[in-house]
Amino acid sequence: MKVLTDNWDLISEGFVTTLKLTLWCGLVALVLGTLLAACRVSPVAPLRWFGAAYVNLVRNTPLTLIMFFVALGFPKLNWNMDYFTFAVIAVGGYTAAFICEAVRSGINTVPIGQAEAARSIGMSFNQTLTLIVLPQALRAVIPPIGSLLIAMVRNSAIASAFNVHDLFGTNAQMVENGNDVVLVFLWIAVGYLIITLSMSALFALLEKKLAVAR
């Protein structure tokens, strides 16, 4: 307990940074992922190719490499932003590829008859997707998106290696100051658990709220 109270300022600051990182990365991942999924199912072939290429490329690249390329490579191209923004681009862009696949397989769980019925009453692709298919797909997609976002929080710890002072990043200074390594890592783990457990509770609630009898 002493380790926690002694380093309260450091830990709470890191905790808030990780929370902010989660929020921004989650936002980027959800928006970009849904757009990519729409691309992948659209009637326009080049958009489909782009979606498929993005997903296959990003899913087969280690996040550390993306982080490396963004945080260390972008400044070389004279794109200068702060490291927090770099982390949001890397982690958000990486998770978006997975969200896209989750949304796409969610679209596949909607019975074919729904889309057929929508089309047969004359709805366009946009209407079919936004009014009929996506709202239903959303329900099926909540559990996998929940676990993806939780994995994202765990992955966001990588940002600490690239100059973002997040929760995990606090370990270096605390260990430096002579605190017990086990306790330092224990408290950091507790911090991550607080975020991930409350997220899984939130998603369980959402799932219950949105559940409908099929």
Indicate the residue type of 122.
G
Closer to another protein at the Cβ: 58 or 84? Answer: 58
Smallest distance, another protein to C-beta of residue 153, A: 8
Closer to another protein at the Cβ: 27 or 72? Answer: 72
The answer to whether residues 138 and 202 touch, using CB atoms and an 8 Å cutoff, is: no
Structure tokens at 187: 């408290």
Within 10 Å of residue 45's Cβ, how many Cβ atoms?
8
Report the interface residues with another protein, using CB under 8 A.
40-41, 43-48, 50, 56-57, 59-65, 68-69, 72-73, 76-79, 95, 98, 101-102, 104-105, 107-108, 110, 112, 115-116, 119, 124-125, 128-129, 133, 144, 147-148, 151-155, 157-158, 160-161, 168, 171, 175, 181-182, 185, 188-189, 192-193, 196-197
- Sorted by sequence, the CB contacts under 8 Å of residue 178 that are 6+ apart come out as none
Closer to another protein at the Cβ: 17 or 171? Answer: 171
DSSP state of 157: G
The answer to whether residues 153 and 199 touch, using CB atoms and an 8 Å cutoff, is: yes
Closer to another protein at the Cβ: 87 or 158? Answer: 158
